[in-house]
Amino acid sequence: MGNQLKNIAVFASGNGTNFSAICSAVKHGSIKANLALVICDQPQAGVIQRVKDAGIKLALVRREDFSSKKDFESGIIGHLKQEKIDLIVMAGFMRLLSPEFVAEFKGRMINIHPSLLPAFKGTHAIKDAFLYGAKVTGVTVHFVDELLDHGPIILQAPVAIEEQDTLETLEEKIHRVEHRIYPEAVQIYLDGRLKIDGRAVRISSL
């Protein structure tokens, strides 16, 4: 096996269930990569205990410790370069990164969003779809670009909103789909099967 494993960094600000899904997939071999680093910006985030329990390297990078956004992002980039990160996996990181940061990692940063983009962008996507009365919502994995929830789409999966659903049951359904398709999308990326042509992404067969 001459191929060296790629290094992944997960960015997270919250509870960290998508981190756990990625971590589990790495552990069980369905993601063939080295989960080298987790970047977190919130010292009280639930993801921190998950990272410690998993024995993964954690970098807590707080915005308030830096005088500017540029310095904050430079701090993050320092950690990424130190660990020779090949792919950034955004998993509920609640900060909009600058166009300069995005340009630095263009084509090497992916995000998961709990709707069928371009519908229901933003931080309350599940609630927005539920209150709108949509019959179907879903999950999108996409490349990150300089706009919010906008980059080229890698994978999408629908989730039906049924009459008996509450916001809580819909959230549970969405999270189950997230935890299934995000590891799949990461491995498709690592296999080199993604071809980007403008806004379109083609997935080639192995």
Catalytic residue among 113, 142, 175, 179: 113
The letter for the amino acid at 174 is I
113 is catalytic: yes
- H helices of the chain, in order, are 17-27, 47-54, 69-82, 99-104, 125-132, 167-190
DSSP 96: P
Q: Are 111 and 156 in contact (CB under 8 A)?
A: no
Q: Are 190 and 33 in contact (CB under 8 A)?
A: yes
* DSSP per position, 3-51: PPPPEEEEEESS--HHHHHHHHHHHTTSS-SEEEEEEES-TT-THHHHH
First to last CA, the chain: 18
Which SS3 state, helix, strand or coil, does residue 197 take?
A: strand
Burial class (CB in 10 A: 0-12, 13-18, 19+), 107: middle
Catalytic residues: 113
